[in-house]
Every structure is written in C-alpha cells, then in structure tokens.
C-alpha cells in the first residue's frame, strides 16, 4: 500500500483510509475487529472515525463506533497507526453531549476528552471539525441562504482551542470537514495572522458523482497546502453497480435508511452512475475499481476513505489500488462528467 505525505506534516498515510461509519448500526463489534485486522494486514495505517458515528446517527447508537475502535486500538502498535476523529458541530442532533454542540473551547475540549476515553488512547493524530458551526450550505444543499445567519463561535476561538490541544499533546494536528472554500481560506488566514497552527486537511465528499471540489476548493487546497481526505468515493454505494437498473438490495444502506442519502437517489445521479458503470465494463473494470481509481488520480487527494459492511467489499475496495486508469478511460469519464456535472452535489 502506497503511503502519501499528509499535507505539511511529517505524517505518511496509506492511500486508502479505513472508514468506520457503519460500525454499531450495520456492523457488529466483531465485524469491526475483522475489518480492522484485515485493513492493517493489507497495509492500511489510517483509520477515520467520529463521535457522531455510526451513521445515520441516533441517540441509541451515538459514539458506539469509537467504542468499537477503542476495543481494538490498545492491542496495536499505536505509533504505527494514524487515527482521526471528529467533533460534531452545532444543530442537527440535540442529544449530542446534551445539546452542548457549539464549537466553544469548552465543548471541543470536552468532546475530545470523551473521544480519547472511548478510543482508549492518549492522543489523536488528527482531530477534525465535522461540519462548520456557521451558516453554510452542505450535505446536498448548494445555495447559501443569508436568512439563516445566526451568531457563531469565532474561527479564532476554534483555532486557539485546537492549538491548546496540540500543545497539551492530546492531538497532533487538526482538520476541517464538510467545509467551504471561504471556510478553508479563513481558517488558514486567521491561523497565520495569529501565529497558530493551520488546518492540516479537509475531509469532504468527492466521487464521480460529486466533483464540487474540482473548482475553487481545489485552488484553495493547492494554495494553502491542505489536501483532501475524500469521503463517499462510491457515492454511498451508487457507484458500486448494486443499484443499477433501479435495483434496491434489501440490506443496502439506501434501502435500510429510506430518509438517508437523498442526494444520491436523484434521477440524474442514478443515470450518471449507470453510464459510469457501462464505461467501466467496456474498459474491463468493475464499477468499484474505476470509481476508486479515479479518486486516487486527483492531485489534491491525500487518502481515499472507504467503508464496507463485509470483508468481501473491503477487499474489493483495497484491491482497487492495483488499478491505474489509462487515457481512454479518463477521457470517457470526462465525457460523462460533461453531460452530468455533479448530479449528486
């Protein structure tokens, strides 16, 4: 497994990162242990989780994923692993930390301490703000609405908090997630202005069906030297081929959770996914191989986060690193993208 330099840090992470958001809902603790062992044995050193996981989130399962990972982590050589987690932002779920989700110094620090306890580790290599604490369009919403403006915790306070946690040895670096171009640039600007650490990474959705990062965010990534950790590279399974022809396998995420992943169920998203599937087949590839190999070709991607509900899926995801896309395949991808630009964005 190839290792990539993570931003401006000395960390080197596997080009595939093990995602964990199904653990505790679709996957048992035993499943999680098997996935972790398999990933480790196949060269993955990077594991991403969050206090909010599993997804879809619920009060019943809140933070269960970190607990599952925490049962495995103490048995490993900790210094050989890169472990990332996230602090949930405000809104969305009032049962997270008793509703104390504003990104204040106290709440971020408290959330981290809870995560460290569940993960049974003394530090995190990367601690990410799961989504912004200010008014932003996200999770399939594309229009900014000034009418939703509300008071938010200043960016400086959030950075100062992360800097304090770094100084205390509780985290090595911090990152952003589901962030906008303005947000990435503002965090970097404020950090520089005050002599504080800048964000190391940005974790946003990126796939053949969602290439919003290609534009302004890619420029910001380049100029601020903040690489992307690409999540949902298979567009919640839509690019795996299992939904082709309108199929809805009963154990698939979009079948189990009817109100989840609406952006990937749009008609244009389905149509584009099927065209990508046909292109993959014509090039002698599986849809999974082509979709994941494409994300790896992007210069701004430091690691691709994959998730699986069984070992067969995980093996297929990991094996995709053996695939290199040729010019004709990339040209075919571009042609489809021109017809269906970001149909799930």
Name 3's Cβ contacts closer than 8 Å, sequence gap at least 6: 12, 13, 14, 15, 45
**Residue of 57, 174, 166, 53 whose CA lies nearest to 118:** 53
Decide if pLDDT at 344 tops 90: no
Decide if pLDDT at 322 tops 80: yes
Task: Give kind and range of the element (H or E) at residue 224.
Answer: helix 216-224
pLDDT score, position 251: 74
pLDDT score, position 113: 98
Residue 276 Cα to chain centre, angstroms: 22
Mean pLDDT throughout 142-165?
95
Q: Which residues are catalytic?
A: 53
pLDDT score, position 308: 94
Query: Across the chain, where does the E strand assignment appear?
Result: 3-5, 12-14, 16-19, 46-48, 82-87, 126-129, 174-177, 202-205, 228-231, 301-306
pLDDT score, position 93: 79
pLDDT score, position 170: 98
More confident residue, 47 or 254: 47
Residue where the block lists tokens 């204040």: 104
Name 270's Cβ contacts closer than 8 Å, sequence gap at least 6: 238, 243, 246
Decide if pLDDT at 252 tops 90: no
Mean pLDDT throughout 115-139?
95
| 178-231 residue pLDDT tens | 999 999 999 999 999 999 999 999 999 999 999 999 999 999 999 999 999 999
The percentage of residues in the chain with a pLDDT greater than 70, rounded to a whole number, is 99
Residue 91 Cα to chain centre, angstroms: 19
More confident residue, 29 or 93: 29
Mean pLDDT throughout 87-102?
88
**Residue ranges of domains in the chain, CATH in brackets:** 3-237+301-323 (3.20.20.100)
pLDDT score, position 77: 97
Q: How confident is the model at residue 262 (pLDDT cuts 50, 70, 90)?
A: confident
Decide if pLDDT at 258 tops 80: no
Residue 285 corresponds to which tokens in the numbers above?
A: 């590839």
Residue 280 corresponds to which tokens in the numbers above?
A: 């993959």
pLDDT score, position 243: 83
pLDDT score, position 156: 98
Phi-psi region of 84 (alpha: psi -120 to 50; beta: other; left: phi over 0): beta
Decide if pLDDT at 91 tops 90: no
d(CA 76, CA 298): 31
Decide if pLDDT at 286 tops 90: yes
**Residue of 323, 252, 311, 255 whose CA lies nearest to 286:** 323
pTM for this model (two decimals): 0.96
If you average pLDDT over every residue of the chain, what do you get? 95
54: cis peptide before it, omega within 30°?
yes
Count Cβ atoms below 10 Å from residue 335 Cβ, excluding itself.
11
Q: Are 128 and 141 in contact (CB under 8 A)?
A: no
Q: How confident is the model at residue 245 (pLDDT cuts 50, 70, 90)?
A: confident
Q: What is the DSSP string of 19-36?
A: E-TTBTTTB-HHHHHHHH
| 14-70 residue pLDDT tens | 999 999 999 999 999 999 999 999 999 999 999 999 999 999 999 999 999 999 999
Count Cβ atoms below 10 Å from residue 259 Cβ, excluding itself.
6
């Amino acid at each position: 497994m190839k290792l990539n330099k993570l931003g401006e840090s000395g960390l080197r992470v596997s080009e595939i990162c093990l995602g964990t958001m199904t653990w505790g809902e679709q996957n048992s603790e035993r499943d999680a242990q098997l996935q972790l062992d398999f990933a480790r044995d196949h060269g993955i050193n990077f594991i991403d989780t969050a206090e909010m996981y599993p997804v879809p989130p619920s009060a019943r399962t809140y933070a269960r994923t970190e607990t599952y990972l925490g049962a495995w982590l103490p048995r490993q050589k900790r210094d050989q692993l890169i472990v990332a987690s996230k602090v949930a932002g405000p809104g969305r779920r009032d049962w997270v930390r008793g509703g104390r989700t504003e990104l204040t110094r106290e709440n971020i620090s408290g959330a981290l301490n809870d995560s460290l306890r569940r993960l049974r580790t003394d530090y995190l290599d990367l601690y990410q703000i799961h989504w912004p604490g200010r008014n932003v369009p996200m999770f399939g919403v594309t229009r900014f609405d000034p009418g939703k403006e509300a008071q938010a915790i200043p960016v400086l306070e959030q950075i100062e908090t992360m800097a304090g946690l770094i100084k205390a040895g509780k985290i090595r670096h911090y990152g952003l997630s589901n962030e906008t171009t303005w947000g990435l640039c503002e965090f970097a600007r404020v950090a520089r202005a005050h002599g504080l650490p800048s964000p190391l990474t940005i974790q946003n959705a990126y796939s053949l069906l969602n290439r919003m990062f290609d534009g302004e965010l890619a420029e910001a990534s380049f100029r601020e030297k903040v690489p992307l950790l690409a999540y949902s590279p298979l567009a919640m399974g839509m690019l795996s081929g299992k939904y082709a022809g309108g199929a809805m396998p009963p154990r698939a995420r979009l079948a189990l959770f009817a109100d989840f992943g609406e952006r990937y169920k749009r008609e244009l998203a389905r149509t584009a996914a099927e065209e990508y599937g046909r292109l993959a087949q014509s090039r002698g590839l599986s849809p999974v191989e082509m979709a994941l190999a494409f994300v790896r070709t992007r210069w701004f991607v430091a690691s691709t986060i994959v998730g699986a509900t069984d070992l067969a899926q995980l093996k297929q995801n990991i094996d995709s690193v053996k695939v290199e896309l040729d010019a004709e395949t990339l040209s075919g991808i571009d042609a489809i993208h021109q017809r269906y630009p970001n149909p799930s964005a």
